[in-house]
Amino acid sequence: MSNRRPICALPDLLVSQIAAGEVIERPASVLKELVENAVDAGAQSVEIRLEAGGIRRIAVIDDGSGIEKNELALALTRHATSKISSLEELESVHSMGFRGEALASIAAVSQLTLISRTKDADHAWCLEPGTLEASAASGALGTTVEVKYLFDRVPARRKFLRAEATEFGHCIDAIERIALAFPEVGFRVFHNDRAVRQWLPTSALKRISDVLGAEFNEHGIEVNAQGGLIALMGVVTRPTAARARADRQFLFVNGRHVRDRTVSHAIRSAYADVLHGDRQPAFVLFLQVDPTAVDVNVHPAKHEVRFRDSGAVHRFVQQTVTQALAGVAGTQHVSATGADTSYGAAQMTDSAFVPTAFATSGSSSAPWQATTQRAFQLRETAQTNSTSPQAWQTLYQPLDEPTPAWPLGRALAQVHGIYILAQTNSGLALIDMHAAHERVVYEQLKKALDARTLPQQSLLVPIVFRVTEKELALAQEFQPHIESLGFEMAAVGPQALALRAVPAMLARGDLEALARGVLRDLEQIGASQLLTEQRNTLLATMACHGAVRANRQLTLEEMNALLRQMEQTERADQCNHGRPTWIHWNISDLDKLFLRGQ
């Protein structure tokens, strides 16, 4: 640069205006800061008045502790706060605010009036916009902050504001989030002098349904779990209440609404087994962690936090939510309405498909298991024999004995090497062979790994395969993890790995592809998260490799064994990718197709 300008310190107002860029994006961000201040001040009721979507005017009136006359000007000074005074206090902060930046930033980009009265004062004091000298005013105990003409002085920012209705919508979102977090505080909201929201002080659960409505009442499952220094409470919704958009997901960490990848991922993976990949669950969850175990000062607007032990948080959240959902799956599937099976298995409303059917045939479960094992040991043979005339004969054996009360029925045939066609008590089922087996293997892997009883099978002849240096390094770095998954892999050269043992359950698939898949997952997952966050992703990869492939000819015996295994597998309705694994048509459905009896 030719025209070098001298370095100078920026004027204070400009510093605040720049800082405002980080925290104050739109009226809703102003509102968030003001309402949080009211809550920090111990307010029991907060009134919010908006004009023109908050662009023209935002006023927040609280009945909290108020501000002393001689501190009013300080409240508007950058980095002045009553909430912390040392680093130690920051590390265990309980208030929403602590940076002492919000009011100064807002005042720098608007016209801010501050009126406040403490319990010892005879009357309120007021700071008019642009003054630092308080004048006597009338007003009740508490504080009123009025913010007018946001960004009028910062046209660059003003331009980015949307239509009033949109800004109003953002304001309501911001208020809802705080209202959810502070159910003991009452809120009233006015827009252009019309009352638009009112929530009375109440319990956390009642506040959730007050704010978010019926959906959480009807489809909600209460979550309430405590574990050492961590607790999770709130409401998750059944998978059927899932939405196309992630607009009903509220996570609060120590009362603060945040977006957090660890927790989101934990919740996602808890739903992964029961929810189609592109559907979004709805939930309101409050995570309480010891303040010293979480850093809230990682984002100027505090939208993010950082956990000291994110692995532990992830485990706790995932387990808690999984249990909540599993509890419901058990009870809900019993309902004959089929109301909660709209994801994939909606057609299965017949009573033959409810778990009671599993229970009544429980006595015969031992023979199923025997069949199952035998059949899958036979798999290799079946494959090689697939085209023999004998195999075809078995496939098309006529079926004259009555179908037993197996929910998934008796296998009739394999269709296009992909589907199993089965006759059930009440109709016809079509089963995606690979998806179904994948689900079975996946659940078996999960169980075995949880019980630390993943049986290993040594390979008679090790499989040696070429890898990149990176893959080799991964195999060495993750050796203990790889072993805990049932593998034994060792370097046999600068670019070669020998696979000496694999999980017995998966010993028949394409082992090289399996090993590569595991390495690839490990690379993406990273050591710290393995066996916690992403364990199920990895198991899904393994299950996918271990499951029967399409175009593999199965015998009827194998098909039936698979059906029996599915019936015994939790959540066999969906494959690991959330797709349905089977569909069912009642005879009446079929009759309709053919216009019979009409």
Tokens of 194: 């019309």
Min separation Cβ 469 and ligand ADP, Å? 50
Per CB under 6 A, does 97 bind ligand ADP? yes
- Please select the residue that binds ligand ADP; options are 47, 51, 62, 573, rule is CB under 6 A: 62
Instruction: Identify whether the C-beta of residue 93 lies closer than 8 Å to the C-beta of residue 113.
Output: no
Strand-pair category, 427-432 with 419-423: antiparallel
DSSP-based three-state secondary structure for 153: coil
User: 459's torsion region: left (phi>0), alpha (psi -120 to 50) or beta?
Assistant: beta
Q: According to the binding rule CB under 6 A, does residue 37 interact with ligand ADP?
A: yes
Q: With CB under 6 A as the contact rule, which of the stretches 100-108, 229-237, 303-311, 401-409 interacts with ligand ADP?
A: 100-108
Q: Which of 38, 431, 467, 562 binds ligand ADP (CB under 6 A)?
A: 38
**Binding status of residue 97 toward Mg ion by CB under 5 A:** yes
Of the pair 73, 346, the CB lying nearest Mg ion is at: 73
- Indicate which of ligand ADP, Mg ion, none lies near residue 340 (CB less than 5 to 8 Å, by partner kind): none
126 touches, from Mg ion, ligand ADP, none (C-beta below 5 to 8 Å by class): none
Footprint on residues 178-217 left by ligand ADP (CB under 6 A)? none
Q: Which is nearer to ligand ADP, 85 or 393 (CB)?
A: 85
207/191 Cα distance (integer angstroms): 21
In this structure, the dihedral spanned by the alpha carbons of residues 262, 267, 268 and 270, taken in order and rounded to 10 degrees, is 130
Residue 579 Cα to chain centre, angstroms? 18
CB atoms within 10 A of CB 224: 13
Q: Which stretch binds ligand ADP (CB under 6 A): 76-84, 205-213, 402-410, 575-583?
A: 76-84
Residue nearest to Mg ion (CB): 97
3-state secondary structure of 145: strand
33 is a site residue for ligand ADP (CB under 6 A): yes
37 or 574: CB nearest ligand ADP = 37
Q: Which of 28, 55, 58, 103 binds ligand ADP (CB under 6 A)?
A: 103
Considering the complex, state which of residue 23 and residue 482 has its C-beta at the smaller distance from ligand ADP: 23
Decide: is 98 part of the binding site for ligand ADP (CB under 6 A). Answer: yes
Q: Do 542 and 517 form a contact (C-beta atoms < 8 A)? A: yes
- What tokens does 25 get? 């994006």
Q: Per CB under 6 A, which region of 95-103, 176-184, 303-311, 482-490 contacts ligand ADP?
A: 95-103
The binder of 81, among Mg ion, ligand ADP, none, by C-beta within 5 to 8 A per type, is ligand ADP
In angstroms, give the least distance from the CB of 66 to ligand ADP. 6
Residue 100 touches which of ligand ADP, Mg ion, none (CB < 5 to 8 A by kind)? ligand ADP
Alpha carbon distance 40, 64 (integer Å): 8
Cβ pair 562, 432 in contact under 8 A? no
Least distance to ligand ADP from the beta carbon of 51, Å? 20
Query: How large is the greatest C-alpha to C-alpha distance in the chain, in angstroms?
Result: 102
Instruction: Give the C-alpha distances (Å, rounded to integers) separating 332 from 216, 220, 221, 238, 239.
Output: 16, 12, 11, 10, 11
Of the candidate spans 89-97, 204-212, 331-339, 572-580, the one that interacts with Mg ion by CB under 5 A turns out to be 89-97
Q: Which of 24, 58, 61, 102 binds Mg ion (CB under 5 A)?
A: 102
- Decide: 447 and 585 in contact? Cβ < 8 Å: no
> Phi then psi for 229, rounded to 5 degrees?
-95, 15
As measured in angstroms, the least distance from the Cβ of 82 to Mg ion is 10
Sign of the C-alpha dihedral computed for residues 134, 135, 141 and 144 taken in this order: negative
The piece of 37-45, 250-258, 405-413, 514-522 that touches ligand ADP (CB under 6 A) is 37-45
The 137-156 contact track toward ligand ADP, x by CB under 6 A, reads ------x-------------
Say which entry of Mg ion, ligand ADP, none residue 352 contacts (CB below 5 to 8 A, set by partner kind): none
Buried b (16+ CB within 10 A) or exposed e, 84-122: beeeeebeeeebbbbbbbbbbbbbbbbbbbbbbbbeebe
Alpha-carbon torsion (403, 409, 410, 416), positive or negative? positive
Contact predicate 261/534, CB 8 Å: no
What residue 411 binds from Mg ion, ligand ADP, none (CB within 5 to 8 A, per partner kind)? none
Rounded Cα distance, 253 and 272, in Å? 22
Rounded to whole angstroms, the Cα distance separating 50 from 27 reads 9
Q: Which is nearer to Mg ion, 39 or 543 (CB)?
A: 39
Minimal distance in Å, beta carbon 67 to ligand ADP? 5
Cβ-closest position to ligand ADP: 97
Q: Between 97 and 183, name the residue whose CB sits nearer to Mg ion.
A: 97
Nearer to Mg ion among residue 123 and residue 303 (C-beta): 303
Find all residues with CB under 8 Å of 160, minimum gap 6, and list them. Answer: 25, 26
- The answer to whether residue 44 forms part of the interface with ligand ADP (CB under 6 A) is no
37 binds Mg ion (CB under 5 A): yes
Q: Contact residues for ligand ADP (CB under 6 A)?
A: 33, 37-38, 41, 62, 64-67, 75, 81-83, 97-104, 143
Q: Contact residues for Mg ion (CB under 5 A)?
A: 37, 97, 102
